[in-house]
Amino acid sequence: MNTLRKTLAAAAVTTMTAVPALAADVVIGVPNWPSVNATAHVLKVAIEQNLGLEVELQNGSNPIVFEAMDKGSMHAHPEVWLPNQSNLHKTYVKEKGSVVMNPNGVEAFQGMCIPKGFAEENGIESIDDLTNPDIAALFDTDGDGKGEIWIGAPGWASTNVEKIRAKSYGYDQTFELQESDETLAYAGLDNAIKGNKPWVGFCYTPHYVFVLHDLHILTEPEYDAAGWNVIQPTDDPAWLEKSSAGMAWDSAYLHLHYSKELEETYPEVATMFRNMKLDTDTVSAMTYALVVDKTDAMEYATNWVSENEDQVLEWMTDGSGSSMSMGSGGNEAAMKALMEAQDAIGKALEALK
């Protein structure tokens, strides 16, 4: 075992035997999509194995997790999509300064997809084709006169943006905009491809779906910052009517965000959160394992951390190659307990002589 890990683990084990059981030391927020669930479990395992701290994972929407990080009741959001959550990033990172962004973003894509074979058979190329009533009729599976299009899961910031984009392009008049859990939506895609049936909906990377299926990404006008006017419901009740975005998404990046108070209470955890770095292929592989292979998230994370020990330990160094010391706040209490326990052991051994 790496010397750094030995040192951290030894200190952690001794500390935990000397301190009464308390609530979780670190709480990580977990919104409702596969990759954030995978990353959250990797962080949990890495912290518990290397730092000896208890980590709890709590479900929560993006606004709830950010509010909790601001208050200190949660400590991290493993995967903040930017620009999707730019309103929350602006409020808590730039304005309040209570949340810190990890600088190592994972590159991502967002758009609208249909099965490639179905697209070629029916001459569907552009997102503008969705405004054609004859094209929309191909996707009308319930006979109500409108096609069905999946725009994302409830609670996703991107789902709101897709409502704006549908209104801006005009296919909100030819399609029923459906919201549902991602697992159900992509099960529908799988069935559609197997039966050569119609399906159209939101797609993004990093994601396993592009490994499983040959998809056509609907073409769109390039992103133009001057024409991208997106307001979220949390910012204005009239967000939809005031917004417009008739163009492709800008390039997106996924960034871990964490509560700034960790820099005082658990600086070694803050160091890890600040240094963590993954890439698109790694995150896609994580989602494939959890969703397609149906591997238990905790089991996958435990194996991943074990197989990538050197990478994980790099996250825990301060740049000089040494680990952050057990610092102030809650760590001072832990170190005091550790010293008291060691002193008690010394006295007990002396009494046995």
Report the pLDDT averaged over residues 181-201.
94
Q: What is the tens place of the pLDDT at every residue in 110-158? A: 999 999 999 999 999 999 999 999 999 999 999 999 999 999 999 899 9
List the domain boundaries for the chain.
Answer: 3-106+252-347, 108-242
With 90 as the cut, is the pLDDT of residue 229 above it?
A: yes
pLDDT of residue 6: 46
Which CATH number does 3-106+252-347 carry? 3.40.190.10
CA atoms of 190 and 209, how far apart (whole Å):
9
Indicate the pLDDT class of residue 343, thresholds 50, 70 and 90: low
CA distances to 53, 222, 296, 319 from 274, in Å? 17, 32, 27, 11
With 60 as the cut, is the pLDDT of residue 333 above it?
A: no
Report the pLDDT averaged over residues 224-243.
95
CA atoms of 174 and 134, how far apart (whole Å):
9
Alpha helices in the chain (DSSP H): 3-18, 34-51, 62-71, 86-89, 116-122, 133-138, 157-169, 182-194, 209-212, 239-242, 262-265, 267-275, 280-287, 297-307, 309-315, 330-352
pLDDT of residue 18: 35
With 90 as the cut, is the pLDDT of residue 298 above it?
A: yes
Query: What is the Cα 151 distance to its own chain's centre?
Result: 18
pLDDT of residue 23: 73
With 50 as the cut, is the pLDDT of residue 339 above it?
A: no
CA distances to 9, 288, 332, 341 from 336, in Å? 17, 44, 6, 9
Report the pLDDT averaged over residues 179-203.
94
- 106-115 and 252-259 as β-strands: parallel, antiparallel, unpaired? antiparallel
pLDDT of residue 347: 54
Indicate the pLDDT class of residue 319, thresholds 50, 70 and 90: low
State both tokens at 78: 């493993």
Closest CA to 78 of 313, 259, 305: 259
Indicate the pLDDT class of residue 346, thresholds 50, 70 and 90: low
Backbone angles phi, psi at 234, to 5 degrees: -70, -15
Instruction: Check for a shared fold between 3-106+252-347 and 108-242.
Output: yes
- For the entire predicted model, the pTM comes to 0.75
pLDDT of residue 19: 36
| C-alpha neighbours within 13 Å on the C-beta side of residue 245 | 23
Please check whether the domain covering 108-242 is classified as CATH 3.40.190.100: yes
pLDDT of residue 317: 87
Q: What is the tens place of the pLDDT at every residue in 18-33? A: 333 347 999 999 998 9
To 5 degrees, how large is the angle CA 262–CA 83–CA 254?
A: 55
- 106-115 and 55-59 as β-strands: parallel, antiparallel, unpaired? unpaired
| Residue bearing the bigger pLDDT, 349 or 130 | 130
Closest CA to 341 of 4, 5, 3, 12: 12
User: Residues 144, 234: contact at Cβ < 8 Å?
Assistant: no
